Structure 1
Amino acid sequence: MSQNPENTWSAAEAKENQQEIAKLVDNLSLQKDGEAKSEDDGVDVSNPADASLLQKIIRKGLIDTRSELDIIRQDPNSPLYSAKTFEELKLKPELLKGVYAMNFNKPSKIQETALPTLLADPPQNMIAQSQSGTGKTAAFVIAMLSRVDTSKNYPQILCLSPTYELAIQTGEVAAKIAQFSPIKLRYAVRGEEVARGSKLDDHIIIGTPGKVLDWSSKFRVFDIKKISVFVLDEADVMIATQGHQDQCTRIHKQIPTTCQMMLFSATYDRQVMEFAQHIVKNPIVIKLLREQESLDNITQYYVRCRDQDEKYQAIQNIYGVITIGQAIIFCHTRKTASWLAVKMTKDGHSVAVLSGELTVEQRLAVLDRFRAGLEKVLITTNVLSRGIDVEQVTIVVNFDLPVDQEGDADCETYLHRIGRTGRFGKNGIAINLVDSEKSMNVCRTIEKHFGKKIHLLDADDSDEIEKIGS
């Protein structure tokens, strides 16, 4: 990555780095350390950090969520209020200019709620949870940049990400917003080295825990006791991953007690939230409530089949009768997805496959073609159960119903899967192919969980199929 002689880069140089940053991201292979394959069935198991990176790259803009925010005011003196415009936040003029350069017209829901507290004086700690695509990164980046005192030439802000690529992503956002200010940023990631005995004069360090520990403890190129803002991005991954947790805890113990702490993540399970609240003193906790599990505009069906071949025949029958805009078909394994793609291609269907062995670059190419309508059918594993919005998707097929590691119904994944249709207020169709009593039990469990009828569909009856497409 091109840098100035001191091996640093200013925010104003962001544009020069864009192509090289893009190459770094494009060359990332999620298969490298993200997806494991079980000995028996080849089930895709995505690395949470890599999955988060893919979501950030997939997003073309902020998603429009109907969800409400659950705000737990653990500090009774919190000035928490909602800012409907960026001007209300009283940002420094150069940062406000950078925000608008990002084409942000108004704060997203997580931004309008979190930023007034993050920018208030005295500084307040926060644990925030909001789904992918809602603007979390920009929220904490704006807060970070606002806390910088450019008259002090030493690191004041420390932001940790679980992987090299996610750190680059965060740094890219920070550089764009700060492009009109004199704020200097530094990556503390693999490949970045500092001379022994030197001292950093950058204002913000964005990096991974291992490299940050090396720079602060081993090489002492910056004084961690002067850090005034500490940010954990993808906090659930950082806390739940044993190696990261140990490193983050060591870093946390070295920062001053007066340091403002910000933890941001898309998800927190109970144990992770408990640990977060243990290490963050008197936090304001903000949670974006789960989107209403309303499936009113998605009609659900199930088809009884004897085996995989009958499942395929059911798909053929459905395609032969009703007009389908675009469809996403979910399979449990890469092997099944590949088998189905070959069968459908031979029968003349325009098919794309997206699964875990593809690099990010390959995945994005597949998604771009599907969005453009060049392929009508996208066959995928759970790697795409959430995060893609394609208006033309009219039908979702669960070739295999989603189950957890114990083989029980995975209702959350089911909701995300079939939620790929029925978007933008349109009607959608979800069809579940059931080939055993076990999968029938999974289907019944899902039906009971959501309280929405899953109708029996006779895939051999063309008149019945025609009705679902009308």
Structure 2
Amino acid sequence: METTGVDNWTKAHEEYVFAPYIQPLSLGHPSKFNAPDPEIDDTPTAAEESLLKKLLRKTLIESKQEVEIQRKNPNSPLYSVKSFEDLKLQPKLLRGVYDMGFMKPSKIQEMALPTLLADPPGNMIAQSQSGTGKTAAFVLAMLSRVDTSKSYPQVLCLSPTYELAIQTGEEAAKMSKHCPEIKLKYAVRGEMLSRGEKITEHIIIGTPGKVLDWSLKFRFFDLTKINVFVLDEADVMIATQGYQSQCIRMHKLLSKTCSIMFFSATYEKEVMEFAEMIVDDPMIIRLRKEEECLDNVKQFLVQCQTEEAKYDAITTIYTNLTGQAIIFCRTRTTAGWLARKMMDEGFTVAVLSGDMTVEERIGVLDLFKEGCVTVMVTTNVLSRGIDVDQVSLVVNYDLPVDRQCNADHETYLHRIGRTGRFGKKGIAINLIDSPQAMAICQEMERHFGKKIELLDIECRDLKAKIRE
């Protein structure tokens, strides 16, 4: 690939990408592989990961993973739909669905909505990738269950964070824009009610602590009158001790006829077992178990004697490939040093690290997804959950290790999974500059049972070697 210059960038654009995120750094070499460094970013929490996915996903993805119904409630309809008209929605809701760009149901919507909109509705535990239409599925079910002749809350949706609750509310507002009679209330930080006040809105979307206070402590609404109870990001809610206990307290007060919906992108075994304990006779929709081997990602290692050799390897590799690249560093200092050095040589580069706000991360990631930035230099904060279809190359400038400097298999898997998205081919290259780094690389190879090939970046036809 030709290195992309900054000639077509305005000065303001350049400053936007870099100024907030790179402190004045020496262009001397960063600290060595195993040196302690307080600037190591942890991988993002599940709630942070989910929020970034929702904010960045502009269109639905076509999931390559098969969805299967693992358990069926015999009292629920066991069919799927091919069009939104088949669901017999209210005409004004149907208009809202089409206004949002949904022309036909996605796979998860196709399977879930007949059960959620049946009379009576069924309970559900559903899993599907981020970007496949989960939120729209349960939001449509929530809106369809409202009786606007009754001026009290009938639908309750819980999210693990303020930001996720707002995202869900915004989706509900768009879908119901032709239904002004449906009223929505946020139960999140900053929202205040007077003592003795009663909520008259039909739908409450909020976080567990706030909702628990409003329902049990201040009696602003009656949980026994709720007929739809939704847990968004259910795996986070169940796995987090405080949220779990708050959700259980509310769940116990719901009526026997209340429809329970749990939606999430992932469910660990223990989380699923807990969910099944508290949801009566659910329909369970899950992704088939994805193999961890990532057969569509070719893995290489490059031996480098010095830090300068590592940098030279990156520029050589990147100029022989097309598409975009993500380079993972162990520390913020290394990421900043590398990005500045690459920018000085004409690459369009941005940095993303854990000291940035959500808004700052979204700004940089949007530029990356739009192709304005071709190389993203980052720490573990970008190792999970962010899907950019054009990413063809992942480079581990530093291999991922835990706090004890042992191989971090899970983070490695998530890092190299940033390429080869949705069935496409991808390349992952590990830069090895020490015996410790080689030992970590060999451990990754043993753990995943996949050969990490030695790559000679001096070979005459490097592009063909990588792609063969």
Per the alignment, residue 55 of structure 1 pairs with: 53
Q: 1:58·1:387 contact (CA, 8 Å) conserved in 2?
A: no
Give the unaligned 5+ runs of structure 1: 1-28, 30-37
Per the alignment, residue 105 of structure 1 pairs with: 103
Deviations 1:310-358 (A, max 9, x none): 32232234346x2544221122332321222133233333211112211
Greater displacement, 190-199 / 415-424: 415-424
Partners of 1:53 and 1:240 in 2: CA distance: 17
Could you tell me which amino acid in structure 1 is paired with residue 231 of structure 2?
L
Could you tell me which amino acid in structure 1 is paired with residue 92 of structure 2?
E
CA displacement at 1:161 relative to structure 2: 0.9
Indicate how the Cα distance of structure 1 residues 440 and 469 shifts in structure 2: closer, same or farther if over 3 A, else same.
closer
Q: 2:49·2:384 contact (CA, 8 Å) conserved in 1?
A: no
Name which of 116, 120, 123 aligns with 1:122: 120
Identity %: 64
Greater displacement, 85-94 / 344-353: 344-353
2:460 is paired with a residue whose SS is helix
Partners of 1:297 and 1:324 in 2: CA distance: 17
CA displacement at 1:408 relative to structure 2: 5.2
CA displacement at 1:284 relative to structure 2: 1.5
Q: 1:295·1:452 contact (CA, 8 Å) conserved in 2?
A: no
Per the alignment, residue 29 of structure 2 pairs with: none
Indicate how the Cα distance of structure 1 residues 53 and 87 shifts in structure 2: closer, same or farther if over 3 A, else same.
same
Indicate how the Cα distance of structure 1 residues 121 and 445 shifts in structure 2: closer, same or farther if over 3 A, else same.
farther
Greater displacement, 366-375 / 411-420: 411-420
Partners of 2:258 and 2:64 in 1: CA distance: 34
Greater displacement, 308-317 / 352-361: 308-317
Per the alignment, residue 3 of structure 1 pairs with: none
Greater displacement, 100-109 / 324-333: 324-333
Partners of 1:398 and 1:374 in 2: CA distance: 22
Normalising by structure 1, what TM-score? Answer: 0.84
Per the alignment, residue 368 of structure 1 pairs with: 366
Q: 1:300·1:455 contact (CA, 8 Å) conserved in 2?
A: yes
Per the alignment, residue 6 of structure 2 pairs with: none
Partners of 2:269 and 2:421 in 1: CA distance: 30
Per the alignment, residue 238 of structure 2 pairs with: 239
Per the alignment, residue 315 of structure 2 pairs with: 316
Per the alignment, residue 328 of structure 1 pairs with: 326
1:348 is paired with a residue whose SS is coil
Q: 2:394·2:418 contact (CA, 8 Å) conserved in 1?
A: yes
Per the alignment, residue 169 of structure 1 pairs with: 167
Name which of 432, 435, 447 aligns with 2:433: 435
Partners of 2:404 and 2:225 in 1: CA distance: 48
CA displacement at 1:276 relative to structure 2: 1.4
CA displacement at 1:174 relative to structure 2: 0.8
1:187-266 alignment, distance < 5 Å: 187-266=186-265
Partners of 1:145 and 1:319 in 2: CA distance: 49
Partners of 2:125 and 2:224 in 1: CA distance: 22
CA displacement at 1:155 relative to structure 2: 0.7
Indicate how the Cα distance of structure 1 residues 424 and 194 shifts in structure 2: closer, same or farther if over 3 A, else same.
closer
Greater displacement, 152-161 / 337-346: 337-346
Partners of 1:422 and 1:240 in 2: CA distance: 29
Could you tell me which amino acid in structure 2 is paired with residue 467 of structure 1?
A
Deviations 1:240-288 (A, max 9, x none): 2222122112111222222111111111222222221122122221112
Per the alignment, residue 346 of structure 2 pairs with: 348
Partners of 2:62 and 2:436 in 1: CA distance: 37
Partners of 1:429 and 1:271 in 2: CA distance: 34
1:297-308 alignment, distance < 5 Å: 297-306=296-305, 308=307
Partners of 1:446 and 1:427 in 2: CA distance: 20
CA displacement at 1:102 relative to structure 2: 0.9
Per the alignment, residue 70 of structure 1 pairs with: 68
Greater displacement, 161-170 / 375-384: 375-384
Partners of 1:253 and 1:331 in 2: CA distance: 46
Indicate how the Cα distance of structure 1 residues 94 and 410 shifts in structure 2: closer, same or farther if over 3 A, else same.
farther
The alignment yields a C-alpha RMSD, in angstroms, of 2.6
Partners of 1:194 and 1:389 in 2: CA distance: 40
CA displacement at 1:62 relative to structure 2: 1.0
Indicate how the Cα distance of structure 1 residues 69 and 396 shifts in structure 2: closer, same or farther if over 3 A, else same.
same
Per the alignment, residue 33 of structure 2 pairs with: none
Normalising by structure 2, what TM-score? Answer: 0.84
Name which of 73, 89, 92 aligns with 1:91: 89
